[in-house]
Amino acid sequence: MTLLKLAIKSTLNRKASVLLTLCTIAISVMLLLSIERVRHDAKSSFSNTISGTDLIVGARTGDIQLLLSSVFRIGHTNNAVSWKSYLDIKERKGVAWTIPISLGDSHKGHAVLGTDATYFTHYRYGKKQHLAFQNGRAFHNAQEVVLGSDVANKLHYHIGQQIVISHGMGNTSFHHHDDNPMTIVGILAPTGTPVDKTLHIPLIAVDAMHKPSHTQPMMIGKKPQQNDHAQHQHAEDHNSHHNEHDEHDEHDEHDEHGHPHGTLDSEPSDLVGSPNQITAFLMGFDSPLYTLQVRRNINMYKAEPLLAIMPGLTLRELWEMLDIVEKILLLFSIVVVLVSLLGMLTTLLATLSQRRRELAILRSVGARPIHIFALMSSEAILITFMGCLAGCFLFYGLLFTANPLLQSQFGISLTIGWLSNYELTLLGVIMSAGTLMGLLPAARAYFYSLADGMSIKI
C-alpha cells in the first residue's frame, strides 16, 4: 500500500509528461476497441438482415452485387427479370414461397420496394423473426404504402397521411409521381435492417406509376367529394409553383396536415397486376434438398440469363473479400497502441536520470532495491491502467455519438453494452504490454547504487 501511495504521488508530481502519455494510451485504446466493435457489429447487422431465405434470384450479374442491391439497397442491377420467367420458376417443384421485389423509385432519399402480400408473411430477419407492425396493417390495394420505422420517425409520418413517390434512387429527383399519391396504412416495427429505411408498395402500384398513361386513382379512405377537393387543391398548388421539387414538398406538407390519424379502411384488391419485369425475387423451399438443384437450373435457364445466389454463402464471400481490410485496420490499431506504450517507456527512461537523487534518498531511508523495482513497475502499471480506463470512457462516448450516424448512413447498429470477452482480452494484453514496458526502467533503477545517486555532477 505504501508503494502504491508513493507511485501515485510520484506520478502526480510529473503531471505534464504523464498526462500526455495517458492521452496517447487512451486514444489508442479507444481506436482499438472502436474498430473491433464496428467490425463485429457490422457483421452482425449484415448477417441479421435476411434469414430463412434459401435463394435470391435476379438478372445475371455478380453474386455480391445482386445481394447488395436486392437486400441491402446498395447499388443497383443493370437488368431485370421478366415476369414470365418469375411465374415459370415459381411453379417449380419444391418451391414453398416466393417474394417478388421491384426497386427503382424513392421518397426523399429512402428506397421504395414494390412487392406483394407474401413479403409480410415470409420475409424474415435476425433469428428467423417475422416482420411485425408497430402501427396499422399491410397494404390492401394500389394506393397504400407501408413504411419502415426509420422512415416514419425521420419524416414524422403517421397513419392516414398521403405521400408522393419519386422516380429514381437518389436523394433528389426531378420526376415525381404526383398523380399517384399513396396513403400510409402501416408502420413496421424496428428491425435494425434496411427494412426500417424502406417504403413498401404493391407491385401493381409500381407498374401503374411507370405506364405511359393511366387514370387518376381514387384516394383511399376519403369520400368522393373530399377527394375531388384534395385533387383540386393539389392542382392549384401545382400551378402556383414553378419548381417541381418545391411542388413535391408542398404536396407532402398539405397531406401531413390534411389527413387524420388512425388506420384507414379499404377494400382488398389485386396487388400484383401484370408487370413486365421485376428486379429480383426471394425463394424458400419445402426442403433444403431442392436448393442446389433449383439453383443450378436457374443459373442454366435458357429463356434469359439469370443468377441464383444463396444469401448466407454470398455473405461469407463478402466478408472474405473484406478480411484484408479488417486485418489492416486491426494492425493499424495495434501499431498505435504499441507507439503509445513506447512513448510511456521513453518518458519513464527520460525522467529516470532526473530521479536518481530521489531514488537514492529512498534507498538511504531503508528502501531495498526490490522496493525501487516495484515502485517503478507500479508507476508503469498505474499509467497503463489509467490510460485504458480513460480509453474506455472515450470509447463509449464515441459509440453514443457515432451510432446514429452509422445507423442512418450505413445501416450498422452498434451494440452499446458491456465490453465483450474479446475486448476485455485486448485490454488485458495492453495491460501486460504496459507492465513489460515498465520492467526496463525498473531494472535500471534496481541497479542504481546509493553512491551513484548522491554523486550526480551538476
pLDDT tens per residue across span 75-95: 887 889 999 999 999 999 999
CA–CA separation, 106 vs 113, rounded Å? 8
- Residue environment code for 332-352, b if the CB has 16+ CB neighbours within 10 A, otherwise e: ebbebbeebbebbbebbeebb
Mean of all residue pLDDT scores within the chain:
81
Q: What's the pTM?
A: 0.70
**Which positions ≥6 away from 111 have C-beta within 8 Å?**
73, 103, 105, 169, 194, 197, 198, 199
Of residues 260 and 312, which shows the higher confidence score? Answer: 312
Q: Residue holding cell 519513464?
A: 348
Q: Which residue type occupies 197? A: K
Q: Please report the pLDDT score of residue 122 as a whole number.
A: 95
Of residues 433 and 15, which shows the higher confidence score? Answer: 433
226 pLDDT higher than 50: no
pLDDT in tens, 299-309: 999 999 999 99
Are the C-beta atoms of 380 and 441 separated by less than 8 Å?
yes
234 pLDDT higher than 70: no
Helix, strand or coil, per DSSP, at residue 88: helix
What's the full length of the chain, in residues? 458
pLDDT in tens, 106-152: 898 899 999 999 999 999 998 888 999 999 999 999 999 999 999 99
CA–CA separation, 88 vs 66, rounded Å? 21
232 pLDDT higher than 50: no
Which of 32-36, 162-166, 365-369, 418-422 shows the lowest per-residue confidence on average (mean pLDDT)? 365-369
Q: Give pairs for 37-41: CB < 8 Å, separation 24+.
A: 37/395, 37/399, 37/414, 37/415, 37/423, 38/406, 38/412, 38/414, 39/326, 39/329, 39/330, 40/420, 41/412, 41/413, 41/414, 41/415
In this structure, what is the dihedral angle of CA atoms 364, 368, 369, 374, given to the nearest 10 degrees? Answer: -120
346 pLDDT higher than 50: yes
Q: Please report the pLDDT score of residue 448 as a whole number.
A: 62
φ/ψ of 398, rounded to 5, equals: -65, -40
φ/ψ of 448, rounded to 5, equals: -70, 135
Q: Residue holding cell 451494440?
A: 415
Q: Which residue type occupies 424? A: L
Q: Please report the pLDDT score of residue 413 as a whole number.
A: 74
Which of 10-14, 349-353, 408-412, 435-439 shows the lowest per-residue confidence on average (mean pLDDT)? 408-412
pLDDT in tens, 183-200: 999 999 988 889 999 999
CA–CA separation, 28 vs 332, rounded Å? 10
CA–CA separation, 311 vs 283, rounded Å? 11
Q: Please report the pLDDT score of residue 246 as a whole number.
A: 45
